[in-house]
Structure 1
Amino acid sequence: MKILIFSPVFALIISCSGKKEEPQQKEAFHILGNRVTIKNNDPVLKKITTETVTEQESGNSITSAGTIETIPNNYAEIASPFSGRVIRSFVSIGQHVNAGSPVFEILAPGYSSVQKDYSDALNDVRLAEKNYKRQQDLVKHGVGIQKELEEAETEYKNKKTSLSNASSTLNAYNSKSSGGTYIIKAPISGEIISNKIVTGQYLKEDSEPVVIIAELSKVWISGAVKEKDIRFISPGDPVSVKVNTYPDMEITGKVYHISELVDEDTRSIKVLIQCDNPQRKLKPGMYAAVTYSAGTEKAVVIPSGALMQQGDRQYVWIQSAKQEFIKRIVVPGNTSEKTVRINSGLKPGDIIMTQGGIYMPDTQ
């Protein structure tokens, strides 16, 4: 009797050996090193555009870091000129005040002394004037003594000098308060950006400022420019400013001042930029990037779409034959929304791929 043995493995081998292989898809590119040839009639060819490199007028620029600051004349720290207890506050944080507006009031014995000195000096002048006129009248009628008249005149002049000094001291405090109270007023117009006033607290004459006022409609940006680049910058030059907080906000300013000193450690020079700040978005202490214009010169400028990225390097595709392109590493410079300046790697007359680079294969 014959025995038939059926093996699944054998059946599988028969089945696989009978299957026809499908032809592989034809490659679109021929790659040799960094050179790529696109084969005839490949759809990629229709997606590629090229352009001949030329030199154009390109603006040079210098970018440096900066910090936003208040303008000193638009900033005031207010402390009490006398020791005393706070009896009233007129302001709150964020409030706008005008120059001369009351800020807070204190009960200040020291101010009472200033008022008393002025009052005493005023009385002394009145008495000295009265005595001087009396001596003049006596001498005029022949019963006075010339020496006493001269002494009275000298005394009168001295008392007037003392009154002038006392009046200047009183006026310096810019207050018409009486009864031992003193009202501290705002020296500038602006916003209350810090308020530490507490009704009832006792302030010493040498205490720290309790109120800070700042006018922030204009601000300074303090930046540092390298010594080698300072020749490109002059007072009044326009600049553009970027802050990380508002990356899409267009900020412009002007060079306000260039320091006369060079920082010996960094070999840089301090430059102050003044910017309008109508919306108060620029806050003191913010970091900013300041770009200065440094003139124009002839340079290679290409469309932004022509520049490709591979790792930490940038490159372009240069046409070397009808359907052949070579990858070339370049060093880009200043960029704009539509163009890129190439500092090295290209020369006028090179033909570059401006569109279609994303369809090209990776090469060495």
Structure 2
Amino acid sequence: MIALEKLQKLQPRARLLIATAVAIALAGALWAVKAERGGDAHHQPADAVNAQLIRRGGAIFVPEGSPYRARIAVAPVQQKSISRSKLVTGAVEADPTRTVKILAPVAGRVASLDVSLGDAVKKGQRLASIDSGDLAQAVADAEKARATVKLTKSAFERATGLNKAGGLALRELEQAQNDYRQATTELKRAEARLEVIGDSGTVSGQRQIVLTAPIDGTITALETAPGDFIDNATESMMTISNLEKVWVTASVQEKDLSFVQKDERVEVTLLAYPGEVFSGKVQVISQLLEADTRRNKVRISFDNPYGIFKLNMFASVRFFAPAAQSLLIPSSALFIVNDTTSVFVETAPWTFQRKPVVIEADYEGSTIVRGLEPGQRIVVRGGVLLND
């Protein structure tokens, strides 16, 4: 009462200041009481009971009542015996064991050309003729050698008779014998030269040789024409390939060589025959990897009696790896972060942990991986909710 009487005696302004201070003090007291009652809720950790996810170290827990439980699906890792395949590009090529390059045996000028590019030829068929001064010289050398042999032989026989009659010294007999031997050797050399020239064709007259086909086949390359002068015995005039058997040569990347095994099944398709599959086997695997492309040549042989395979045709070649046990998971289970691929593995009910995996290949809508165990349960849907 005394305090009230004193308050009433104060000026209105002073009374207003005192009332304001009291109100502030009461508000502070009420806030302190409220904070004390609700302090536990304000100081709870991040993994509160009502949280959608709780993270503890590397583990992620989806608590009961979290709406994420309805959006996350878990399934076991499957193991199956599968045979993977790899599709690569290729091209049709001639079999080198059935291909011959036609070379000029002597320098000279092409007098006639009797075939065209793409012509089919038979063994022994006339291809071209060459007029050659070198051939004329070789023929003349052979004729001279024959004449010399004939002359020295007669001289040797005459010297032998005189020596027996005592009319010729032994030294002169030996000289006649040596002359005959040298002439015989020179004749053999000259005839061998003509024989080598004749292996490529038929010598006609003193200056001309007719080139003939050494095998049945097709003219697949032609690098000469009538009037062309041939001065390099190593340059090919034309190429004959027997195309009754051909190769399909595939270019396989280094990382895919595990799909290639000798004598394994191969399927080839050609752009010219869509929908048709040609089955074959791997014949040759090159032991040399191309340094610039990091690819390996793999060849498959095909019979080609009807000429279906044309040289330089583009082909698609499918190789099949041997069957092996593989782990399959849906592609939706994979997450790529900073070049690392991982999945979420269930370590306990509704508890998950990220685990890195290695992708090997895609297979019928699924992915073949390494780094998991058969039967492990992983997140196959809704994993994006766990991926921070």
Corresponding residue for residue 259 of structure 1: 286
Partners in 1 of 2:255 and 2:285 — Cα distance? 14
State the Cα deviation string for residues 224-261 of structure 1 (Å, max 9, x = none): 33445545544433422222232323223333333333
Q: Is residue 231 of structure 2 the alignment partner of residue 205 of structure 1? A: yes
Q: Helix, strand or coil: the match of 1:118?
A: helix
Q: 1:275 to 1:90 in 2, by over 3 A?
A: same
Q: Is residue 156 of structure 2 the alignment partner of residue 119 of structure 1? A: no
Contact 1:83 1:202 in 2 (8 A): no
Corresponding residue for residue 211 of structure 2: 184
Corresponding residue for residue 318 of structure 1: none
For structure 1, which runs of at least 5 residues remain unmatched after alignment? 1-31, 36-52, 302-330, 351-364
Q: 1:342 to 1:229 in 2, by over 3 A?
A: closer
Supply the RMSD in Å over aligned alpha carbons: 4.1
Q: 1:221 to 1:171 in 2, by over 3 A?
A: same
Q: Is residue 267 of structure 2 the alignment partner of residue 240 of structure 1? A: yes
Percent identity reads 28
**What is the one-letter code of the residue matched to 2:242?**
E
Q: Is residue 154 of structure 2 the alignment partner of residue 136 of structure 1? A: no
Q: Helix, strand or coil: the match of 1:106?
A: strand
Larger radius of gyration: 2
Partners in 1 of 2:279 and 2:185 — Cα distance? 53
Q: Helix, strand or coil: the match of 1:249?
A: coil
Contact 2:270 2:314 in 1 (8 A): yes
State the Cα deviation string for residues 10-36 of structure 1 (Å, max 9, x = none): xxxxxxxxxxxxxxxxxxxxxx9799x
Partners in 1 of 2:220 and 2:327 — Cα distance? 50
Partners in 2 of 1:332 and 1:234 — Cα distance? 18
Contact 1:300 1:341 in 2 (8 A): no
Q: Is residue 179 of structure 2 the alignment partner of residue 152 of structure 1? A: no
Partners in 2 of 1:233 and 1:117 — Cα distance? 58
Q: 1:193 to 1:256 in 2, by over 3 A?
A: same
Corresponding residue for residue 251 of structure 2: 224
Partners in 2 of 1:63 and 1:105 — Cα distance? 48
State the Cα deviation string for residues 170-203 of structure 1 (Å, max 9, x = none): 111222311422211223321123456655x242
How many residues matched? 275
Contact 2:124 2:212 in 1 (8 A): yes
The match for 2:123 among 99, 105, 125 is: 99
Contact 2:90 2:249 in 1 (8 A): yes
**What is the one-letter code of the residue matched to 1:247?**
P
Q: Helix, strand or coil: the match of 1:66?
A: strand
Q: Helix, strand or coil: the match of 2:187?
A: helix
Q: Is residue 116 of structure 2 the alignment partner of residue 89 of structure 1? A: no
Deviation, 1:266, is 4.2
Partners in 2 of 1:220 and 1:73 — Cα distance? 11
Q: Helix, strand or coil: the match of 1:295?
A: coil
**What is the one-letter code of the residue matched to 2:317?**
V
For structure 2, which runs of at least 5 residues remain unmatched after alignment? 1-69, 329-359, 378-388
Corresponding residue for residue 65 of structure 1: 89
> Which aligned pairs between 1:1-364 and structure 2 lie closer than 5 A?
57-174=81-198, 175-195=202-222, 198-199=225-226, 201-206=227-232, 209-230=236-257, 233-298=260-325, 333=362, 343=368
Deviation, 1:294, is 1.9
Partners in 2 of 1:254 and 1:142 — Cα distance? 81
Larger fraction in helix: 2
Partners in 1 of 2:113 and 2:292 — Cα distance? 47
Contact 2:110 2:230 in 1 (8 A): no
TM-score norm. by structure 1 comes to 0.61
Corresponding residue for residue 361 of structure 1: none
TM-score norm. by structure 2 comes to 0.57
State the Cα deviation string for residues 104-130 of structure 1 (Å, max 9, x = none): 123322221121112112222222222
Corresponding residue for residue 355 of structure 1: none
Contact 1:233 1:292 in 2 (8 A): yes
Q: 1:158 to 1:63 in 2, by over 3 A?
A: farther
